[in-house]
Amino acid sequence: MAFRYTPWVFRFISFAFRYTPWAIKFISLAFRYTPWAIRFISLAFRYTPWAFRFIRLDFRYTPWAIRFISLDLKYMPWAIIIKKENKIICPPFLLL
């Protein structure tokens, strides 16, 4: 079995050696741009407090959003069920 697939293994190995220079180029490129990635990460950490402030604001005003949604749900049937040409237009989810 091993001998049967040996030529394929050799082909893969030769393939690997053929593309090794490209792999090395990609790795060197990665190392070249690493400082930029680190700068972006540091920027992200720099502005994290602001993100948290926005999230906190979101939570502060969430009850109001929920109240509006509940009002919407309360008056939705009236908004959607419209009598037009003696036909009631009603989405299927209200019929459930």
pTM of the model: 0.24
> Are 6 and 35 found together in one domain?
yes
Beta bridge pairs of residue 89: 82
As a whole number of Å, the end-to-end CA separation of the chain is 63
Residue-wise pLDDT for 69-85, tens only, equals 666 666 655 555 555 44
Cα(37)–Cα(24) distance, integer angstroms? 19
Checking if the pLDDT of 4 tops 60, the result is yes
Contact indicator for 63, 70 with CB cutoff of 8 Å: no
Sorting pLDDT into bands at 50, 70 and 90, what band is 95? very low
Count the domains in the chain.
2
> Are 36 and 68 found together in one domain?
no
> Are 70 and 96 found together in one domain?
yes
Task: With respect to residue 20, please indicate whether it lies within any of the assigned structural domains.
Answer: yes
DSSP for residue 89: E
> Are 78 and 38 found together in one domain?
no
Residue-wise pLDDT for 12-63, tens only, equals 777 777 777 777 777 777 777 777 777 777 777 777 777 666 666 666 666 6
